[in-house]
Amino acid sequence: MDIETPRLRLRALREDDTGVLARIFSDPAVVRYSGGRSPTVEEVRDGIRKHISSHYSDHGFGLLAAELRETEEVVGRVGFLTTEIDESADAELHYHLAPGAWGNGLATEAVRAVLDWGFGDRHLSRVIAAIHPDNHASRRVAEKCGLTYWREVELPGAGTFQVYEVRPPAGR
Ligand SMILES: CC(C)(COP(=O)(O)OP(=O)(O)OC[C@H]1O[C@@H](n2cnc3c(N)ncnc32)[C@H](O)[C@@H]1OP(=O)(O)O)[C@@H](O)C(=O)NCCC(=O)NCCS
């Protein structure tokens, strides 16, 4: 499941990513538009263990660690989860980077690459992303990666989100 971009290696999560991912997600800016609560270290570890034990094999995709190729530093987590927002979608896109990595086009580079992999290797037919209406950076990333506005949804306890969608490019 390794995906390489000019600056990033997107690879399967490992249990030893727990510390760095817990640190990234402990920053309020990172979770501001994803429910607002940072996961505990145990929750991050559990999520990684579930990915390794079943999620990757059950679904053929999952969240990936985003590692800078030059330094091997993990700067975020990008990838697909299954979705309850719309069961006709194959997967829901998620992308979170450490604030120190923002503003350099890395999210766009990562999301383009996972979509390419998802449509090409996994033959996904439709991917969605739920974006908080105030999350302008996320919306911009989605738009640059070809996602378009589909509709609003009310997520219990989280409020109104805008759902964006994308299908494989013609010919795939
Ligand atoms: C969303 C996120 C992944 C973007 O990462 P990034 O690497 O900075 O993204 P990129 O540099 O590829 O692109 C960001 C785009 O948003 C734009 N942008 C950033 N902040 C913005 C703002 N406040 N208003 C409008 N546009 C903004 C940038 O200018 C850029 O667009 P451009 O290339 O047209 O100039 C990052 O901010 C993040 O991790 N946020 C917290 C987690 C999150 O909200 N994830 C999304 C959940 S749906």
Q: Which pLDDT score, from 0 to 100, does residue 50 have?
A: 98
Q: Name all residues whose Cβ lies below 6 A of ligand 1.
A: 30, 33-34, 95-97, 102-108, 129, 131, 135-138, 140-141
Alpha helices in the chain (DSSP H): 18-25, 28-31, 41-50, 56-59, 106-120, 136-144
Confidence of residue 157 (pLDDT cuts 50, 70, 90): confident
CA–CA gap between residue 172 and residue 166 (Å, rounded): 13
Instruction: Report the separation in Å between the CA atom of 54 and the middle of ligand 1, taken as the mean of its atom positions.
Output: 31
CA–CA gap between residue 120 and residue 99 (Å, rounded): 30
Domain boundaries, the chain: 3-126
Instruction: Report the separation in Å between the CA atom of 66 and the middle of ligand 1, taken as the mean of its atom positions.
Output: 16
Q: Which pLDDT score, from 0 to 100, does residue 87 have?
A: 85
Measured by CA distance, the residue closest to atom 16 of ligand 1 is 137
Instruction: Report the separation in Å between the CA atom of 58 and the middle of ligand 1, taken as the mean of its atom positions.
Output: 31
CA angle, 135 as apex, 41 and 26 as ends, to 5°? 15
3-126 topology per CATH:
Aminopeptidase (3.40.630)
The string of pLDDT tens digits covering residues 26-79 is: 999 999 999 899 999 999 999 999 999 999 999 999 999 999 999 999 999 999
Instruction: Report the chain's C-alpha Rg in angstroms.
Output: 15
Residues 6+ apart with CB under 8 A from 104: none
Whether 172 has a pLDDT exceeding 80, the answer reads no
